[in-house]
Amino acid sequence: APDYAEAYNQRAIHFFKRGEYPRAVADCEAALRLNPFHFGAAAGLGQCLAKVGKPRAAIRAYRTAIDIN
């Protein structure tokens, strides 16, 4: 479902649980491109970016999630 943001978000969760953080980042970003108000994707992106050692980008993603919420 290439136009369904939640499909990307769910796959991002799967990748995150497997420790495949760069792939999870890509899917969170895809979900947010399709739905800029997807709280779960924004919060998940923050977690993924923290795991790959990008704390400033993680903080930006967390701030986006707060704004959405």
- Mean pLDDT within 28-33: 98
Model pLDDT for residues 9-24, shown as the tens digit of each residue:
999 999 999 999 999 9
Instruction: Give the whole-angstrom CA distance, residue 65 versus residue 54.
Output: 17
Q: Which of 22, 62, 3 is nearest to 12 (CA)?
A: 22
Half-sphere exposure of 44 (CA within 13 A, CB side): 29
Q: What pLDDT, on the 0 to 100 scale, is given for residue 1?
A: 80
Predicted TM-score (pTM) of the model is 0.94
**What amino acid is encoded at 5 in this protein?**
A
